[in-house]
Chain A
Amino acid sequence: NAGVMQNPRHLVRRRGQEARLRCSPMKGHSHVYWYRQLPEEGLKFMVYLQKENIIDESGMPKERFSAEFPKEGPSILRIQQVVRGDSAAYFCASSPLGGGTTDTQYFGPGTRLTVL
């Protein structure tokens, strides 16, 4: 039973380029969450998605960031025109029940984005 998978594990981009981060949830999970983590800090919520729907994007910057979770395939977090301040570890988590319930989130290994 594979866990949450994220790729790539490491991503290097130059300022102004686009970054695409992918997340495949655990089998049977239809709820996906994206978090950002700076060194030695906790995780900051960005966005919560169900299949084909964005449920809560209150933690995501209004510009340059977008997320999707299509009917088929992984969830994608997309950062356009990256800046140095976007350098961080981005984690995806999945859960079976989702918001509105007492649920458990299972995390992937993360993608470490470095912007040069």
Chain B
Amino acid sequence: TQLLEQSPQFLSIQEGENLTVYCNSSSVFSSLQWYRQEPGEGPVLLVTVVTGGEVKKLKRLTFQFGDARKDSSLHITAAQPGDTGLYLCAGDNTGNQFYFGTGTSLTVIP
């Protein structure tokens, strides 16, 4: 089993603060994806990172793939209430399935 551990599990912050969410594994992945899921909906893809050390930016969100392709981080600058949701990382090892992390539930308080 290729486990992806996410931390923190729960995070509640004030609007305007910065935060970082981590996704760690002892396994190497060929790519890693980040999703955001809102209550009652399916996960929506935010980004895919492929190359070790890769950094991708999506407006106020910055994603980084570790050099060894075993871990990743998501940094949100100046969080807004619309960022509230469950953030999931998923690793792909070019096998038949994606391995999903345990999730980070983010609440941004106005």
In the complex, residue of chain A having the shortest beta-carbon distance to the beta carbon of B104 = A42
Q: Please determine whether B41 and A103 come into contact, CB atoms closer than 8 angstroms.
A: no
Q: Please determine whether B42 and A91 come into contact, CB atoms closer than 8 angstroms.
A: yes
Contacts of A6 in B (CB 8 A): 42
Q: Please determine whether B102 and A56 come into contact, CB atoms closer than 8 angstroms.
A: no
Contacts of A107 in B (CB 8 A): 35, 42-45
**Cross-chain pair count, CB within 8 angstroms:** 73
Q: Is A65 located at the chain interface by the 8 A CB criterion?
A: no
Interface string of B70-102 (1 = CB under 8 A from A): 000000000000000010101010111111111
Beyond A102-B30, A102-B50, A104-B33, is A48–B43 a contact (Cβ under 8 Å)?
no
Say how far B51's CB is from chain A's closest CB, in angstroms. 11
Contacts of B35 in A (CB 8 A): 107
Contacts of A45 in B (CB 8 A): 97-100
Contacts of A35 in B (CB 8 A): 100
- Residues facing B in A76-116 (CB within 8 A) are 91, 99-110, 112
Q: List 21 A-B contacts (CB under 8 A).
A: A4-B42, A33-B97, A42-B102, A43-B100, A45-B97, A45-B99, A45-B100, A56-B96, A56-B97, A91-B43, A99-B95, A101-B94, A103-B92, A104-B33, A105-B45, A105-B90, A106-B45, A107-B43, A108-B42, A109-B42, A112-B40
| Residues of A participating in the B interface, judged by any CB pair closer than 8 Å | 4, 6, 33, 35, 40-45, 48, 55-56, 58-59, 91, 99-110, 112
